[in-house]
Structure 1
């Protein structure tokens, strides 16, 4: 495990516990306590954890309560790997609808290599990444920019999507649950995703493993509404993601092609 991925996993473990000890982190990560202390120091400098005697606690609210800029550094190495994997599934010449979210910004970064493409974006952050890229015809879907998220939502965004058709919808998600299906923390975001699902020939959902087993506030769709789900290999580890294995199994039973990267 390289340093960036180890920092990602360390942050997940801290956020998943009220408080976690250095010795417990060392055991779960398979590294020395000295390495753990060094990694915690690095995360503390970024303001993501707070060191306490013998361990660490998270310093920020859970991801659903934090804005885009607060979440952007979290698990960046993992999200970039997911972004590269998803972009590799997009055929040149496709018409793509790209959802909002911190992970889909990484997808945007890698889509330039798949040009020519027509990409409609639901995120001002993704628009910045794709603007002026050779071979990318960029469409910014109209709508209201949701404060803190810069995702494009509301009746204007929905109405615009209803007039378009896409070969592929790359969908981010707040939660995926074996029984509850795909869900979001914002009613506005959920409404836009539902239209995106209806207007695309296929949908690739992408999320890091922390989203598995999560039931967010607003249901987006049942599991089999999505064709492919891309997540990271940590989803198979019940020690760090108790809901991961069961959710992956439910997705496969629903006929969703699951890719671990």
Structure 2
């Protein structure tokens, strides 16, 4: 089989499965594992796939630390749908905590409080959005500013959280991996998120479907610590099944 045809079949397989083993490709293509590895090297150099531990992955599983302005342009419709579904969970006279990230910005834009609402926020942009509504009492966490996310991190934020209790913590993430857990790209942000989880009765992850199968540098927690995931309709049936198998509630925003 000529190289171009092998490459086409490899990419076709990845589009269907998301990941595939070298040995599986070698058998399907009728060539040696050495030939497959050479093909994968060429395809990786063309940024068409990512190689890891004897397998090929359609996307690089490691999330980059992009700026908030760049992230705002990614999947805006999906994020708005997710934010709208998340806002439905807020009750009258509720007290909630909101982390950082562009998906929680979409949540903030969809919040229309019934009576009073108390929000503790790590994100400057979330606080700015919510400040337009006089029925929302906002506690902005202080600390060191992360320029890429326009959110705060550090011990001063944690000092406030130790004296708080929330019904819900809404968190955006950079990756959800069924082996690694859920994660972000910054160690300080991961630590702050863990403190927010400890102060909340429920942890609700807002993540568009592109976050599944990816890992940020810093682990926030294991998937079993999540109460609910809200994502978009492009999530794969395989991921839906694994979420249900873990006993995590799932909302798919249409």
- What TM-score, normalized by structure 1, do the two folds share? 0.71
Cα deviation 1:162-184 (Å, max 9, x = unaligned):
12111110011111111111111
Structure 1: gaps (5+ residues):
1-23, 29-56, 237-244
Output aligned runs, 1:221-232, within 5 Å: 221-232=221-232
Which one has a bigger Cα radius of gyration? Answer: 2
Question: Helix, strand or coil for the counterpart of 2:64?
Answer: helix
CA RMSD of aligned residues (A): 2.4
Hey, which bits of structure 1, 4+ residues long, moved more than 6 A?
Answer: none
From 239, 252, 255, the counterpart of 2:247 = 255
Looking at structure 1, the residues matched to 179 and 114 of structure 2 have their Cα atoms a distance apart, in angstroms, of: 35
- For residues 109-258 of structure 1, what are the structure 2 equivalents within 5 Å? 109-236=109-236, 245-258=237-250
What SS does structure 2 have at the residue aligned with 1:205? strand
CA apart distance, 1:89: 1.1
Asked if the contact 2:175/2:216 (under 8 Å) is kept, the reply is yes
- Aligned mates of 1:105, 1:213 — CA distance in 2: 23
DSSP 3-state at the match of 1:234: coil
- The yes-or-no answer on 1:68 pairing with 2:51 is no
SS in 2 for 1:179: coil
Q: Which runs of 5+ in 2 are unaligned?
A: 1-11, 17-47, 49-59
CA distance in 2, matches of 1:167, 1:63: 29
Q: Deviations over 1:194-246 (max 9, x none)?
A: 1111110111110111100112211111111111100001012xxxxxxxx44
CA displacement, residues 6-55 of structure 1 (integer Å, 9 cap, x when unaligned)? xxxxxxxxxxxxxxxxxx9xxx9xxxxxxxxxxxxxxxxxxxxxxxxxxx
Q: Which residue in the other structure is 1:86 paired with?
A: 86
Instruction: Compute the displacement of 1:159 (Å).
Output: 1.7
User: Match of 2:192, SS?
Assistant: helix
In the other structure, the counterpart of 1:31 is none
Shift of 1:65: 3.0
Measure, in 1, the Cα distance between the counterparts of 2:192 and 2:136.
23
Q: Distance in 1 between matches of 2:181 and 2:151?
A: 22
SS of the residue 1:235 aligns to: coil
Contact 2:243 2:250 (C-alpha < 8 Å) held by counterparts: yes
